[in-house]
Structure 1
Amino acid sequence: MAAPDWLERYRAGDRDRVWHELRQCGARLEETEQAVAAAVCDEMARRARSNVETVVARLRSEGYRFHTNDDEREPVEPFRPASEEAPALLGWLEERFGPVPLTVASWLRLVGDVWFVGTHPTWPDAAAADPLVVELEGLRWPGASMREFFAGESEAQAEGSDGEVFVLPVAPDALHKANVSGGPAYGFRLPDGSVDALFVGEVATPFVDHLNAVFAGGGFLGHGDAQPPWELRRRLTEGLLPL
Structure 2
Amino acid sequence: MEAGGITIELTPRQLEIVDIVKKHAPITGDQIAELLNVSRATLRTDLSKLVILDYIDAKPKVGYFLGKRGEPDREEKFRLLKMKVGDLHGVPIIIRETTTIQEAVVALFLENVGNLIVTDADGHLAGIVSRKDLLKVTLGNPSASSMPVSLIMTRRANVTTVQPEDTVLDAARKIITRQIDSLPVVVPSEDGNPDHWKVVGRITKTNIIKMLLDMVAEE
Structure number with higher strand proportion: 2
Shared fold (TM-score, shorter chain, > 0.5): no
Interval containing the TM-score (normalised by the shorter chain): under 0.3
TM-score by length of 1: 0.21
Q: Which has the higher contact order (CA 8 A, sep 6+)?
A: 1
TM-score by length of 2: 0.23
